[in-house]
Amino acid sequence: MKRGNRLFPFILILIVSLGFHGSLKAQGLAAADEARYQRFSWGINLPYWFWLNRAPLRPLEMVYSDKDLELIRKLGLTYVRVPVDMANIYDPDREDLLQPEALDLLLSGLRKIINSGLAVNFDLHSISQQAGGSDYSGPLGKDPAFTERFYVFWERLARKLADFDPDWLIVEPMNEPVFLGEEDRWPPLQKQLIARIRAVLPRHTILATGAFWSNLSTLLTLEPLADPGIWYCFHFYEPHLFTHQGAHWSSELVKKLRRVPYPSSPQAVGEAISLVQQEDLKRALQAYGQESWNAARIEERIGQAAAWAARHRVRLICNEFGAYRTYCLPPYRVAWIKDVRTALEKYGISWAMWEFEGGFGLIYRRNGKAIVDRLVGRALGLKLD
């Protein structure tokens, strides 16, 4: 990683911030925030421990070993994002709404990660993955009684997270809120949610996001909150037809696609078109070819987020991006990952790839040992032996 080049946008933001605030206290806060933001520069997601867990909850080391954490750090990554399914730690029958044994297991693992030298993005990833599937926000905002319980749940959870050093743990109250067709209902709910958490966590960074699965377009519609301790996150899986090709949980159209190329052009999509019979699939691939997705288009798209952040003088973090590898040819996947990572770093945006292992993974397992996909590692600019 060429880390020196990446510092320049941060220094500019810091200079602007100091110019606006002027006071010694504000300058100290800006410098502290800069140091914290640097700690969350390059990350990786660690699902399958407290989210989409394939077995009963287990200690962290039974899912991600000490050697895994050491590998992540040696690769040059600075933090991990830990997705958590609310259902794993929520007990509606208890006064504090928290399941104590599960919570102890979770907090112990978070301490272990931080003690290994990696910072933590605590991510409430879903209300109930089993019940809601990809509707991660589920009844939030639809059921008034549950919505109030959710606020209280977060107040109680925040008290537990308050013990963590705010320079080493940041809080993401809701991953990918959906609110399909009612996206404008999310911002006022988010405002109230963050206010309730902020009353308990005055010094921790809190992440805010847009609806419609935290996509970039909804981020651009947000009016930032009057809280300098908020960073704004978005996820980048554009174009979805490419990044999710063949994924069984995706749309009926996208799950049938194979060998979709990147970059795209009318000529490049020929092979993928030849593999499908349905006319709607052919049309979708033809349109993708005409759209000419390439490094320049990705840079322009991410540049929109950077311009929004500069206009509002806020920090950005793209804590999910990736491409499903099962049906995507490696050169295409690697090219896309490199172009996204390069664009994010050009604009000084912190990032975390989805995911350490799995269908979007950085590594494979061989007899339990993590083997880095070196092509992906190079695309991410990681330190490889």
- pLDDT (tens place) for every residue of the chain, 385 residues total: 434 344 444 444 443 343 333 333 344 556 678 999 999 999 999 999 999 998 899 999 999 999 999 999 999 999 999 999 999 999 999 999 999 999 999 999 999 999 999 999 999 999 998 888 899 999 999 999 999 999 999 999 999 999 999 999 999 999 999 999 999 999 999 999 999 999 999 999 999 999 999 999 999 999 999 999 999 999 999 999 999 999 999 999 999 999 999 999 999 999 999 999 999 999 999 999 999 999 999 999 999 999 999 999 999 999 999 999 999 999 999 999 999 999 999 999 999 999 999 999 999 999 999 999 999 999 999 999 8
The Cα 231–Cα 209 span in angstroms is 9
Through-space distance between the first and last CA atoms of the chain, rounded to whole angstroms:
13
Q: State phi, psi for 150 to the nearest 5 degrees.
A: -65, -45
Question: Amino acid identity of 335?
Answer: A
> CA 158 → CA 134, 151, 152, 195, 358, distances in Å?
25, 10, 10, 12, 30
Closest to 81 measured CA to CA, from 127, 47, 112: 47
- pLDDT computed for residue 186 by the predictor: 98
**Side-chain half-sphere CA neighbours of 114 within 13 A:** 18
CB 213 within 8 A of CB 240: no
The Cα 240–Cα 302 span in angstroms is 15
- pLDDT computed for residue 55 by the predictor: 83
- pLDDT computed for residue 23 by the predictor: 38
Q: Vertex 242, ends 238 and 245: CA angle to 5°?
A: 130
Phi-psi region of 132 (alpha: psi -120 to 50; beta: other; left: phi over 0): alpha
Q: What is the CA radius of gyration of the chain?
A: 21
Q: What is the pTM of this model?
A: 0.92
CATH of 33-238+293-379, one of 3.30.565.10, 3.40.190.10, 3.20.20.70, 3.20.20.80: 3.20.20.80
Type and span of the H or E element at 317: strand 315-321
Cβ atoms within 10 Å, residue 221: 13
